[in-house]
Amino acid sequence: MKSSLKSKKKQLIENLRAQGITDEKVLEVISEIPREDFIPDFLRNQAYENAALPIESGQTISQPYIVAYMTQELQVEKKHKVLEIGTGSGYQAVVLAKLCKRLFTIERHMPLYKSAEEMFKKLRIFNITTLFGNGIKGWKEQEPFDRIMVTAAGEEIPDELLYQLKDGGIMIIPVGAQDETQHIIRITRHGDDFDVKTLLPVKFVPLLSGIVHSS
């Protein structure tokens, strides 16, 4: 199984390059991380297919291309303090943590929050700080952030997140209703102005308010 997964991972990296992922740091990090550890055991042999997969609490682990694309567009640097909204399986968090100085990540589903924390310890990733809470409100105690990534689709862009960005900071967020075409949006803050660019059409789980204590 291990040699098969290794071969599939190598093929995935080649596919990501062919799809336009050019940031070698992003590709290197994806090649390092065992995606099979972030999904249910019965799906392990699908870990390196370029597809989203189901996880706990009715959520998904994003397609590797989308993870790579959103990370590349976020333009993360080693000095950055980054906020992630929607920890999920923890896979995207680990990708970001390997590229930035500090990652703060918020999850609203308690089972996902707990399992992601365990995974970070298992992988010995020590620059991640987790919070069980309402991601739409961001993390005011830790603002401002150089970068913010949202891993669920809002029907609109939450104002509270916009104003937790540093001047010059970038946010990547999927935007759109569940029954409509969603798009990844890149927002760059310039003082009290925000430059908004529409990027890739996507399909994400909804960005919801509140917290959920059980599956």
Residue type, 155: E
Examine the residue annotation and report whether 3 is marked as an active-site residue of this protein: no
Q: Which residues have CB under 8 Å from 20's CB, separation 6+?
A: 69
Which residue's entry shows tokens 């920890």? 87
**Which amino acid, 186?**
R
The values of phi and psi at residue 29, to 5°, are -65, -45
Cis peptide before 201 (omega within 30 of 0): no
Contacts of 6 (CB under 8 A, 6+ apart): none
From 57, 62, 89, 115, the catalytic residue: 62
The packing angle between helices 2-18 and 64-74, to 10°, is 50
Retrieve residue 42's tokens: 């019965």
Positions marked active-site? 62
